[in-house]
Homo-oligomer: A and B are copies of this chain.
Amino acid sequence: MNASEFRKRGKEMVDYVANYLEGIEGRQVYPDVEPGYLRPLLPAAAPQEPDTFEDIINDIEKIIMPGAASPACTELETVMMDWLGKMLELPEAFLAGKAGEGGGVIQGSASEATLMALLAARTKVIHRLQAESPELTQAAIVEKLVAYSSDQAHSSVERAGLIGGVKLKAIPSDSNFAMRVSALQEALERDKAAGLIPFFVVATLGTTTCCSFDNLLEVGPICNKEGLWLHIDAAYAGSAFICPEFRHLLNGVEFADSFNFNPHKWLLVNFDCSAMWVKKRADLTGAFRLDPTYLKHSHQDSGFITDYRHWQIPLGRRFRSLKMWFVFRMYGVKGLQAYIRKHVQLSHEFESLVRQDPRFEICAEVTLGLVCFRLKGSNKVNEALLQRINSAKKIHLVPCHLRDKFVLRFAICSRTVESAHVQVAWEHIKEMAADVLQAERK
């Protein structure tokens, strides 16, 4: 949608809201629909080609408004999560479908998704061990629990461990910054021999530092064999899996218990919208189910409805699935794929510019929209380069450490980015680098 279309549609929406408020007394306080009313009104999958804005707005009136806030808010979320799951070709087991055990939920952030997965896994292992040995206290079990992730995992994984009160061990990644089965297996054996209880593994697809990928096809089977909950954190990279040429990066998801990525990062859905799927809803909802009278309702034991409050930390919820509905329909799957492809192509364009300059090196394989690079030389000179670039305020880079190397990260992430921006940025970086290298020589 360009700016002039946005002006037109935005103003129509303002009128829509004003009309709604002016006519609110004529509306019923509670909808007439039955639980499950919404799914049959929607296609089973997102459209390939864009729908028109008129069509979407008309559907709001026809499909959403009769279901008001509840149950429309919940039911649209379940269906949108199925749409998105299908775009990613997630295994059926993760979809809510008609009668499956799995399903998706919108969390606020990947941090919350990781935490919820860890807490569900913690509850599950406690129940299992207490069923085997009823004399075991929760604390006696928790004390021995160990979670694992790669040493490249996001800090939110460590944080989830702190909140959950369990040990988290970092598995040394390989030379491509990927978690491999050998290192994981070694840790598992060592910890089991020490009397500890492995219970949870986070595999990262697209690490924050350099967009590396843990080896799911290796790690997945061992998690299944050992009865460990496998959670996949694909916060950034997940959006790319809607393109067939990148889908192989998700191979092995069939071994996972839960999977998460952030459409708010790279799929044009505004913050916040973190998509999380589980294979067994009951694992998540069983962890913290509490039903005081003021939250009971007539359909709760019917099996037809989803109570997302059991899937998350907060109780209240926003209608975030509307954002997904608008974006998926206005772009169509093909439009979203084109958007991802353009970004990946631009990152490769930047990569090749860097490679053509012998003063620079590429520090990690470029797979999606992130390029890790640096001046060949000391960390000090690269820190100086970063400082000069960010002080000039024409572009902004966020650095990382890869092992002991200080690395600059060039991320393609704007909705309106074009090749010209990449070229300008590279010219600017070269200029700053020349200044830094000259200053160093003095």
Contacts and interface: CB of A to CB of B under 8 A. Distances in A.
Contacts of A318: 271-272
B7 A21 contact: no
A139 interface: yes
Interface in A275-299: 287-288, 290-295
A395 interface: yes
A316 to B, nearest CB: 5
Given A18-B6, A393-B30, A313 B316 contact: no
Nearest to A159: B288
A174 interface: no
A315 B155 CA distance: 10
Given A143-B137, A293-B400, A294-B400, A22 B3 contact: yes
A10 interface: yes
A314 B396 CA distance: 23
The quantity of this chain's copies bound in the complex is 2
A163 interface: yes
A28 B112 CA distance: 32
Interface size class of A (residues with CB under 8 A): 35 or more
A42 interface: no
A371 to B, nearest CB: 15
Nearest to A29: B396
Given A30-B396, A119-B163, A290-B158, A111 B3 contact: no
B22 A17 contact: no
A156 B309 CA distance: 11
A29 B393 contact: yes
A399 B158 contact: no
23 contacts: A3-B21, A6-B17, A6-B18, A6-B21, A11-B14, A28-B393, A29-B394, A108-B108, A108-B316, A109-B313, A109-B314, A112-B313, A139-B139, A140-B143, A142-B142, A142-B165, A155-B291, A163-B164, A163-B288, A271-B318, A272-B316, A293-B399, A313-B313
Interface of A: 3-4, 6-7, 10-11, 13-15, 17-18, 21-22, 24, 28-30, 32, 108-112, 115, 119, 137-140, 142-143, 154-156, 158-159, 162-165, 208-209, 264, 271-272, 287-288, 290-295, 313-316, 318, 390, 393-396, 398-401, 409, 416
Given A6-B17, A162-B287, A272-B318, 8 more contacts: A11-B11, A109-B315, A155-B295, A162-B288, A163-B163, A165-B165, A209-B293, A294-B400
